[in-house]
Amino acid sequence: MEKHPVSAPTAPTTPQRPPISHSTQTTPQSQNAVSRMKADGSVIWSNEYNEVREDILNTQIIDLRLFSRIIFDLNLNATNFKPLGERIEAKLDGYLAVAENQREHEKTLYDPLNEFLNAIGQASGDLARVFYTQAYRRILGYGLDRRPDLSQISRIYLDLRDNEDLDSFLRESWMERMHWLLMLCFVEVKHKNGRTLGHGIRKRTVTKVAAKNAKTGNSTKTLPAPTSEKSSLSLGLSTSVSPSDSEDKASALFEKTRRQVAAYGKVLFSAGAIRSHVVGLVIDDTVCRFVFYCRSIVVESEPMDFETSPGKDWFVELVQHLHSLPPDKLGLIPNMEPSSSQHFKLRRIERNSKRSPEDREEPELQSKKVKIDGKGKQKEEKQKEEDSQGSSTHASTASFVFSNVQSPPSEYTSAEGTASGAVEESPSPALSLVGYTYTLVVEGFKRVLRVTQVIFRSDCLIGRGTTVFQVECIKEEVVETAQRTTVAPEESWKGEDLILKISFPPSERMKESELIDSARAHAKTHNAKWALQHLPRVVASVDSLDWESNDPNENTLQNRLKSQFGDAYEMRSLRATVLEKLEPLSNLKSAREFAQVFYDILQIHRWLYEQPKILHRDLSMANIMFRREGDQVYGVLNDFDLSSLLTRMDKSPTSKHRTGTKPFMARDLLASNWDKGHLYRHDLESLFYITLIVSCHYTGPTTRASTLLFEDWFNGVDQVVSSAKYTFISFEWPQPLVQTYFNGFTQWLLKIRQLLNQGYKSWPGPFFWSDKDRLKAALYDWETLDGNVTYLKIMEVMRFFDGEELVARWDGGGKSS
């Protein structure tokens, strides 16, 4: 590979950010799916639950009429209510009769509530969607056994016989082989007289919780009580109970229910159809809340009693609206369609029939207490059925970390994560996103891409919500021009191995494609063509494709949310990016090839920093790829979603102040008191952790070690991981560390660890005993830890592997850092 010597320019410095002063101005690690995985790729149960709690910490609670206007663009009348109709009134009376009996189990509410909700849709002539009981049967597609009590799906999926009464069908049958891809919205049912929704919690309790939150820095917007006495009275709610410990229990029950319901929203984002938002409903006897989850915010309506007017009339109108909303208003992205082979009927099982051995494995419906605890704490039971029906080619453990594009597939992201399209023959084949098509129009060409593999689906409530597919182009045609009618061979995508990434990044953030294209253009015009081998290639990128208009004057959901919540809501774009396919680390053939790829990453990362002045900010195993040409490998630095121009780092969205993937993040960035932003040396430290974990956790390119020494870095909370990394850097290592296959990395790790050790020990102390100490602290070089952690020092370590020099791609590199 040719070298292009350049004179060493003055090394740039990373612009300093203002201190991060509030939790809403950081990027919680819950927003990166890898941070929720154990080292072996499985879900971190306790962390997963804690991160749902963090995602809903700043939940916005608003009056139901305001909720309706913002979320549904629907104005609820305060007077002049229309008659509900005899059928709706009858079904409501039937439900209320059961709900009033507090001695009955919650499960007795399901059937009459289904009939009430479906009667509302039928009264408006909308029979396309139905609510049915889901609580008794598993849902395929996710690694945790989560099931809301009621689900709404399209009626076409029900095995409903001609002229068969819907209510009778739902009362007499279970629906099996349900998949999260089919769910439109959900209903969670409680039987606690409204207490799970905050109904009946006194102001004294609210004041106590507010005082507690003031001490901990939590938002008081998570309080269960209505925002004003007037609004609660207008909805027919009582806020008086006897002052006792029951108030604290009610508050705890409310928060537990909120987390439980938020978990359903997260699963719909992670395993359902790709969508921008989720709408759900929580009903506790005659009290209800509507909930809304999107990639930037959680919004809840205040609790409302629908037993009497006006709550009853508003409830019916909103449910009618849910029945009639088009798919995009329910959050499903446009232009993505299932394959025709995936239109099927859910398997129908008679409730009173004998259950098969497979059916008997289904857990029986638990008591209410067990149900809340089980769902709230995330059952750790894997869906055995999912493995056999989602795919016959589950990912090996090795492919977890060495995955393509952004982050790896794992069992909990659904079996479709590595689906080949093969399914078990059955009356109801398992669903998968494999086979779905996505249509995009770019530069005058309309192309249809078919999903051949699901590489990654993020598992988060708040965040970019990235999904990565391997796709093939099955159709392309010319549009938007009268001069051309055919696609030229050099313009065709057919026959190419392509990657499609769909995400919801902040609208203000510079596009990944623009950063990559600018870097490639800089390489071509500045005598650095070598860099092209180490950068990904963007084939096409489209924002807000037929989604929501970017015009701030248009009445869109995002504009309404932004107008109402201001800085608490971050505008996002629907982004579809098509890239060339690269090879993951697991395809490397020797430890020396690993070393060459890591050395390449060190060089291209520095070149990006010095030349086009881009800081990557998210080095991880999954973001290091390679190209192979003959017997040569070329490391490719991939995934620029969190990257930033140095000149714009202080202008990027506040939610991205802290960036990275937890096991590989620098210890500073995991520490709660770090206020100096993301520096260049932090990415050098990430490269050290990548090398460390590869060489210690793997006995070969595709084989995981039996003992994972740094498993806690995947499992722990940020501050604990930060402390663990500091301890590891500062004290003697446990022996042995490096696996035999990767033994050549031992010298790298020892020497770089020593540089980090010296750097962290050079920090100025917290106490200044003299003016000299104060001056030293003021002049301290945080960029390089007083000159200890620099590109040149790391390069000198990494240029040799097992005593032999690796191939250098670039002779540049700033002298000072």
- Mapped onto helix, strand or coil, the DSSP state of residue 207 is helix
Per-residue confidence band for 1, with pLDDT thresholds at 50, 70 and 90? very low
User: 3-state DSSP call for residue 118?
Assistant: helix
pLDDT in tens, 60-107: 999 999 999 999 999 998 877 888 999 999 999 999 999 999 888 999
The stretch 358-364 carries a mean pLDDT of 43
Give the count of alpha carbons within 13 A of 792, CB side only: 12
HSE, CB side, 13 Å, CA atoms: give it for residue 81. 15
Which of these ranges, 74-83, 322-331, 747-756, 800-809, has the smallest mean pLDDT? Answer: 74-83
Give the range among 56-70, 259-273, 398-412, 794-808 with minimum mean pLDDT. 398-412
Three-class DSSP category at 243:
coil
**Distances in Å between the alpha carbon of 185 and those of 87, 223, 351, 367, 501?**
23, 24, 24, 24, 25
Tokens describing residue 545? 């494709």
pLDDT greater than 80 at residue 628: yes
Residues 234-256 have a mean pLDDT of 63
Determine the residue type at 581.
Answer: K
Q: 334, 547 in Cβ contact below 8 A?
A: yes
Q: Which residue has the higher pLDDT, 32 or 268?
A: 268
Higher pLDDT, 291 or 78: 291
Q: Would you say 137 and 173 are in contact if contact means Cβ atoms under 8 Å apart?
A: no
- Degrees (nearest 5) of the Cα angle 759, 765, 766? 135
> What fold does the segment set 1-43+583-817 form as a domain?
Transferase(Phosphotransferase); domain 1 (1.10.510)
- What pLDDT score does 228 carry? 35
Residue 116: both structure tokens together: 């009430």
707 vs 769: CA distance, rounded Å:
46
In this prediction, residue 378 carries a pLDDT of: 36
**pLDDT category, 18, cuts 50, 70, 90?**
very low
**What's the pLDDT score for residue 735?**
65
If DSSP codes are grouped into helix, strand and coil, which group holds residue 718? helix
**Which is it for the CA torsion 170, 171, 177, 178, positive or negative?**
positive
Cβ neighbours of 324 (radius 10 Å): 14
pLDDT digits (tens, 9 = 90+) for 483-507: 778 888 999 999 999 999 999 999 9
User: Which residue, chain included where needed, has tokens 């209320």?
Assistant: 96
Check pLDDT > 60 for residue 159. yes
Check whether 361 has a pLDDT greater than 50: no
pLDDT value for 715: 78
Residue 167 has pLDDT above 70, yes or no: yes
What does 313-367 look like in DSSP terms, one character per residue? HHHHHHHHHHHH--GGGGTBPTTEE--GGG---PEEEETTSPPPHHHHTSPPPPP
User: What's the pLDDT tens digit per position in 186-226?
Assistant: 999 999 999 999 876 543 333 333 334 434 444 433 333 33
Please give the residue that has the higher pLDDT: either 420 or 432.
432
Domain boundaries, the chain: 1-43+583-817, 58-334, 378-458+466-503+537-581
**Nearest CA-CA partner of 157 in 129, 133, 124:** 129
What does the alpha-carbon distance between residue 476 and residue 487 come to, in Å, rounded to a whole number? 8
Among 24-38, 179-193, 275-289, 640-654, the minimum mean pLDDT is found in 24-38
Answer whether residue 277 shows pLDDT above 80.
yes
Q: pLDDT band at residue 762, thresholds of 50, 70 and 90?
A: very high
Mean pLDDT for 633-639 is 98
pLDDT by residue (tens digit) across 600-619? 999 999 999 999 999 999 99
Cis peptide before 226 (omega within 30 of 0): no
Tokens representing 432 are 């998968």
Residue 269 and residue 561: Cα distance in Å, rounded?
A: 19
Q: What percent of the chain has pLDDT over 90?
A: 59
- In the chain, count H helices and then E strands: 22, 25
**Short-list 805, 759, 756, 803, CA closest to 782:** 759
Give the pLDDT score at 4.
Answer: 42
- CA 463/CA 443 separation, integer angstroms: 29
Which residues, including other chains, have CB under 8 Å from residue 336's CB and lie 6 or more apart?
273, 274, 436, 437, 438, 439
By three-state DSSP, how is residue 79 classified? coil
Note the pLDDT of residue 775: 85
Q: Which pLDDT score, from 0 to 100, does residue 9 have? A: 41
Asked if pLDDT for residue 298 goes beyond 70, the answer is yes
The per-residue pLDDT of the chain, averaged, comes to 80
Where would I find the beta strands (DSSP E) of 386-509? 437-442, 445-457, 467-478, 498-503
**Three-class DSSP labels, 580-643:** ECCECHHHCCCHHHHHHHHHHHHHHHHHHHHCCCEECCCCCHHHEEEEEECCEEEEEECCCCCC
The reported pLDDT for the residue numbered 7 is 38
Q: CA-based angle 525:528:533, to the nearest 5? A: 115
**481: confidence class by pLDDT, cuts 50, 70, 90:** low
Q: In whole angstroms, give the CA distance from residue 535 to residue 519.
A: 8
